[in-house]
Amino acid sequence: MDKIQHNTNTLGVKNALVDLTPIVTLFNPVEEPSLNISSMLEEKPTQKGHAECDMFNGRWVYKAEDKPSYNAVTCPFLEIGVTCQKNGRPDFDYAKWRWEATDCDIPLFNGRDMLERLRNKRMVVVGDSLNRNMWESLACLLYSSIPSSTVEVVNLPASKSLKAKDYNFTVEFYMAPFLVDLDKKHVSGRRVLNLDRISPYSKQWEGADFMVFNSAHWWTHGKAIRSWDLFRYKGKLVEDMAKEVAYKRGMRTWASWIKKNVDPRKTIVYFRSVSPTHYHPHFCFNATQPLIDAYDVKGFPKSLMDVIENLTKKMTKLRVNYLNITKLSAYRMDAHPSIYDMDMNNSPNKVEDNLKRPIDCSHWCLPGLPDTWNRLLYASILLDI
């Protein structure tokens, strides 16, 4: 079987940068026949007669019969900000769209199969709050697959973990938005982003069998909300530096750490691409269907996306794969928390109040879109092990 691509130049990020038109075209939710789920379980993704297949290129298909993969109320890993149904969101169609690749048959997520394949293994998910969104989804998908009595849960401010005791499998999350070191107590009294020093939390990443990284939006923050005052590179403090230059230097530091500390005979690494936002020109509030042909990766320049895509291409011998979810996620303006990012107690007045504050068109409702990211991660793992 020809191996499905993890990384592609011709699809995904480049197409995701087409400017939005003033009119947003939406999908019509047309139901299609159910896939034969039982025939797909525990099978690797297969191609449909083409020389190569990119499972990140395809379309969203409405599946009215699909049920949530887990219960947002009973899963202990979800933060209140992403439990949209619990927070009063009245519709649930955003969880009924299934990703279908153009040339690939992708297996549905099978938690027990994943746990069995990863028995006695350890996975770490590292990055910003969007990777935490992904980890929460994965933890809930696995948690719902096995008896809760066989699960250990650790929930700390900067790290979280699930351990499936019967499988001796652990999946952990570590908050490290830049992957490199942010020194908030520098002797200068300023917050310093050290571009050539890996995050001090990296000691906790070492030894994992699977690693899932991201680093994106925090690099683009303006002065009003950014987390640093100065850059430090090769011993020198710099106040201003082009974002592309800073990001490239930081990601090279990450790549150097991978080369020095990760054994490709033991460990497979995934870098998740940029998770798009939908703030401008079309807010995500009241969106109930995916976009059909409009993509917006606002807030993260294409030049920065090219940095990490080109860097990971050079790391294939280190078993570093690019999990390119940008394009497929860019369709999903309907899947953000919007105003439903906190408990509104089903009060209409609270809805009106929430419209007066910032709307979350960045993170994703759970259950929801990150479940598809994890389905594609699962399919990627099937190819790699």
Instruction: Give the three-state DSSP class for 380.
Output: helix
Burial classification of residue 34, based on how many CB atoms lie within 10 Å of its CB (0-12 exposed, 13-18 middle, 19 or more buried): exposed
| 360 has catalytic annotation | yes
Of 199, 180, 220, 211, the residue nearest 305 (C-alpha): 220
From 161, 278, 363, 371, active-site residue:
363
Q: Are 127 and 370 in contact (CB under 8 A)?
A: no
Given CA atoms 133, 139, 140, 141 in this order, what sign does their dihedral have?
Answer: positive
| Annotated catalytic residue within 69, 129, 338, 362 | 129
Strand partners of residue 155: 160
In whole angstroms, give the CA distance from residue 367 to residue 378.
17
DSSP per-residue codes, 42-76 = T---EESS-S--BTTSEEEEE-TT---SS-TTT-T
Catalytic-labelled residue, pool 54, 181, 334, 360: 360
User: Is 384 annotated in the active site?
Assistant: no
- Does residue 371 carry a catalytic annotation? no
Residues 368/326, Cβ–Cβ less than 8 Å: no
Q: Within a 10 A sphere around the Cβ of 363, how many other Cβ atoms?
A: 23
Catalytic positions, written as ranges? 129, 360, 363
